[in-house]
């Protein structure tokens, strides 16, 4: 993950477990939209990445034959952010044989900036 897309959005994982994921994002000018606030796509990407990391941890623990892929991402934005850092916390709402649903909250300090839900499928690697 350190050389993939997550590095482009400055996403750094502090903990990846099958029942909780924690990550931080350092905001810089590459993550801002023209109005000078964090681009909504960045927040959606944080939700997708954090949930996928946890879901993949669950799949690896429960079935070496599968991979996890996201199939629906719904992210709500509550507050804009211009600088500093964000913390994301993801937790599963459902972990089943074929599907998983994760909720991810993104904070600026103690303030909720965005909340998203990722629904995904556990698929055969073949």
For the chain, the structural domain boundaries read 5-124
107 DSSP β-pair partners: 87, 112
> Whole-structure pTM over 0.85, yes or no?
yes
pLDDT tier at 1, thresholds 50, 70, 90? low
Q: How far apart are CA 58 and CA 39, in angstroms?
A: 29
> pLDDT exceeding 90 applies to what percent of the chain?
90
pLDDT tier at 41, thresholds 50, 70, 90? very high
Residue with tokens 């991402």: 73
- Residue by residue, DSSP assigns 19-62 as S-EEEEEE--GGGB-TTSSB-HHHHHHHHHHHHHHHHHHHHHHH
Q: Has residue 3 got a pLDDT over 70?
A: no
What's the mean pLDDT when you consider all of the chain?
95
Residue with tokens 């350190």: 2
CATH superfamily of the domain spanning 5-124 = Hotdog Thioesterase (3.10.129.10)
SS3 80: coil
């Amino acid at each position: 993950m350190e050389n993939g897309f997550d590095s482009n959005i400055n996403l750094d994982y502090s903990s990846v477990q099958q029942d909780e994921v924690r990550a931080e994002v350092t905001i810089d000018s590459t993550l801002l939209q023209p109005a000078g606030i964090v681009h909504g796509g960045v927040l959606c990407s944080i939700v997708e990445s954090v949930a996928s990391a946890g879901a993949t941890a669950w799949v690896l623990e429960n079935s070496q034959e599968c991979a996890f892929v996201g199939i629906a991402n719904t992210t709500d934005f509550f507050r804009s952010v211009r600088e500093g850092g964000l913390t994301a916390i993801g937790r599963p709402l459902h972990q089943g044989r074929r599907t998983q649903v994760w909720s991810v909250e993104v904070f600026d300090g103690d303030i909720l900036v965005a909340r998203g839900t990722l629904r995904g499928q556990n698929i055969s690697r073949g």
